Structure 1
Amino acid sequence: MQRRFKALQLISLKERAGQEHQQKQGRSSAYGWVLLVPAAIAGFLGCWQVNRRQWKQELLQRRTAALQAEPVDILQAVDVPEEYTRVTCRGELQHDKSVFLGPRPRTVMGTSTPGYVVITPLRAPDWGRAVLVARGWAPAEWRDDASLRQRSEPAGEVQVTGVVRGSENRSSFVPDNQPERGAWYWIDVPALAHACGLPSDTPLVEVMTAEPAEPARSAVPTSMDVLAMRTSVPHVEEQYPLAKPAADLLQFSVMPDDHRNYALIWFSLAGITLPLALRAVKQRRVPR
């Protein structure tokens, strides 16, 4: 009788151990399936970064080719050229209809200065076709002081060379333009043309200062570099409006090399989590 009781007790312990083992296998398998989700997400994001890198490289190539091409006369063109095409135009700037878009602060050596982007209509010599010219950045006091503006408001016929630009993509943080108050916060080309008394299909030409350079990320200057620049570079009086360098059109907040680095990070995470997930899932199938 006692032997029988011990045998039953031993069987009960084995059954309990088997149940506990099955429960552990179930938990391990569930843990493995859970790990498959972040592994799949990391792999997807890595592939997305690779595609973004390729897309941005092609975009840079197209922009570089467009900026290096010979400019076309936009006032003589039948259709408006594509964005970033180099164009030229000759006519008279209508300074009395200039629009100040902003505020657009300008930061130099850690110092931020409030200002605006100056957009002025330009009409052909025969007063036929016209374009909007984004002449560049000017400080806030330049907008409010007519005597300062007169120094940089050429009279008569001028020739402008720049690139075709389109409307900006307004974020949710940027307020709506208020043309009736003369308050412009983002570039809406048709609305700006209408406010200047021009047709809504009037193109916008942005003035550029130099030939385009190869896209490259410059190193962030140290405090000693900034101090050396302030003490060694002589002061040069700037002429407003300040046109944008052509090289700025070849710069993005996220460059192709950044997309490559992000892709490596995501693929590394996928490579770490995927083997752990597969191992946890297969543990349920391993016999004891």
Structure 2
Amino acid sequence: MKSAIPTIQRLSRTTANATTRFRPAGSPTPRPSTRRTFATTPRRTKSKDDNKDENTHLPPGEFFSVVDEPGTIVRAGYRRSTAGLLFLAIIPVTAFILGTWQVQRLKWKTDLIARLEDRLVRDPLPLPPRIDPSAVPEFDYRRVVATGRFRHDREMLIGPRMRDGEQGYMVVTPLERPDGASTILVNRGWISKKMGDQRARSPDALPRGMVTVEGLLREPWKKNMFTPDNKPEKGEFYFPDVREMAAWSGSEPVWIEVTMEPEYLRFLDLQAQGIPIGRPAEVNLRNNHAQYIFTWYGLAAATSVMLWMVAKRPVSASEAARRVRMNKQW
């Protein structure tokens, strides 16, 4: 035991000398370091399977940060488009022009309705024996009186036509006037679909003697592109084409609409007998120009505000806008 102790002491001194052999003289004795060395995670190429989790295939204890993604340089400044400003400026100008045009249309329609309503209050005008069809528009909505016999064998049903939710037809019958006067077309009114056959109507619905008709002289109707063509050879009429119907029935292209006072109980009785129900003596022209004026002027005001907000936005000082680094995966 005594010989072993000096040997251990010599080994200790030898180890201490070996430790201090490579340390400069006077330098402090180093202490064990507890700082963690910084190391970056190497970038890897993403595969098609890396859609669910970015850190799925990394070794344990490591992670893949979004800062390791390759960045993309994008423009962050605002650049004003001249073409866009011009297009946006056209909208309020066009809307204002259309609104002004609707103001003129409103005045024209108001004057027209007032002129037609003035004709309604005048006494009925006896229809002359011969009528110039080109002069009919000047007497549109004029109350007239005509006498003659109905040609029920040339009756024409125009339909379908709806009234109070029920389907039916307009009954147009030529009126053959005496003393060599021309035959004219008379729109007697509406009947239900089940009364389309003359045999289903009462005798009062088919007067045989001389009758006096009072109604409104109307100019020929205008057909739209969605209405099918009439088929006179089959007795099918979908639109009151006055000239076509006059040529088919041997009449003059003059159209009269029978008028009646709106009495609900009387209409029920006429409908049950199959007697045509005439129209009320009133002007039924649509006048929605005031709504159009509000719509166009409102659009002009709204787009003007939008143009002002876009025009007042500041533009970047230099042509090269400020750039930022953006990650596509953020």
Q: TM-score, normalised by structure 1?
A: 0.71
Could you give the per-residue CA deviations for residues 147-198 of structure 1, whole angstroms, max 9, x where no partner exists?
Answer: 4153311121111111112332222221101111111110111111121123
**Against the structure 1 CA distance between its residues 90 and 42, is the aligned structure 2 distance closer, same or farther, given a 3 Å change threshold?**
same
Hey, which of these two has a bigger chunk of helix by percent? 1
Stretches of structure 1 lacking an aligned partner (at least 5 in a row): 1-19, 212-228
Q: Greater Rg, structure 1 or structure 2?
A: 2
Does the 8 A contact of 2:171 with 2:190 survive in 1?
yes
Query: Of the candidates 89, 93, 96, which is equivalent to residue 43 of structure 1?
Result: 96
Q: Could you say which residue in structure 2 is the equivalent of 1:214?
A: none
CA distance in 1, matches of 2:184, 2:266: 37
Larger RCO (CA under 8 A, 6+ residues apart) = 1
TM-aligned CA deviation for residue 279 of structure 1: 5.7
Q: Residue in 2 aligned with 1:242? A: 277
Q: CA deviation at 1:105?
A: 2.0
Residue number among 267, 277, 286 corresponding to 2:307 in the alignment: 277
Which whole-Å CA distance do the structure 2 matches of 1:170 and 1:55 have between them? 23
Q: Which residue of 2 aligns with 1:5?
A: none
Paired residues in the alignment total 236
Partner Cα distance (1:234, 1:187) in 2:
26
Q: Secondary structure at the match of 2:297?
A: helix
Contact residue 33 and residue 281 of structure 1 kept, 8 A: no
Q: In 2, are the aligned partners of 1:92 and 1:157 still within 8 Å (CA)?
A: yes
1:72-123 C-alpha deviation (Å, 9 max, x unpaired): 21134654543222111011111121111111122x2xxx212111011111
1:171 equivalent in structure 2: 224
Give the letter for the 2:294 counterpart. L
Partner residue in 2 for 1:24: 78
For 1:61 and 1:287, how far apart are their aligned partners in 2? 62
| Equivalent position SS for 2:276 | coil
AA aligned opposite 1:98: E
- Counterparts of 1:5-24 in structure 2 under 5 Å? 24=78
| Structure 2 CA distance for partners of 1:206 and 1:287, relative to 1, 3 Å | same
Partner of 2:246: 193
> Kindly tell me: are residues 30 and 204 of structure 1, through their superposed partners in 2, closer, same or farther at Cα, counting changes over 3 Å?
closer
Q: Could you tell me how far 1:51 is from its partner in structure 2?
A: 2.0
- Give the CA deviation at 1:283: 6.2
Q: How does 1:181-260 map to 2 (within 5 A)?
A: 181-198=234-251, 201-210=252-261, 236-239=268-271, 240-247=275-282, 249-252=283-286, 255=287, 258-260=288-290
Query: Separation in 2 of the partners of 1:189 and 1:63?
Result: 21
Q: How far, CA to CA, are the matches of 2:170 and 2:267 in structure 1?
A: 23
Once residues 267 and 188 of structure 2 are traced to their aligned partners in structure 1, the CA distance between those partners, rounded to angstroms, is: 23
Q: Aligned partners of 1:149 and 1:117: how far apart in 2?
A: 17
Q: TM-score, normalised by structure 2?
A: 0.63
Q: What's the C-alpha RMSD, in Å, of the aligned pairs?
A: 3.0
Partner of 1:67: 120
Indicate which of 151, 154, 158 corresponds to 1:94: 151
1:149–1:51: structure 2 CA closer, same or farther, 3 Å change rule? farther
Is 1:263 the equivalent of 2:293? yes
Mark the runs of 5 or more structure 2 residues left unpaired by the alignment: 1-74, 319-330
The whole-number CA distance in structure 1 between the counterparts of 2:226 and 2:293 is 29
The secondary structure found in structure 1 opposite 2:201 is helix
Q: 3-state DSSP class of the match of 1:91?
A: strand
Distance 1:234 1:70, change over 3 A: closer
Percent of aligned pairs with the same residue?
30
Q: Is the 8 A contact 2:185 2:256 kept in 1?
A: yes
The AA in structure 2 aligned to 1:92 is R
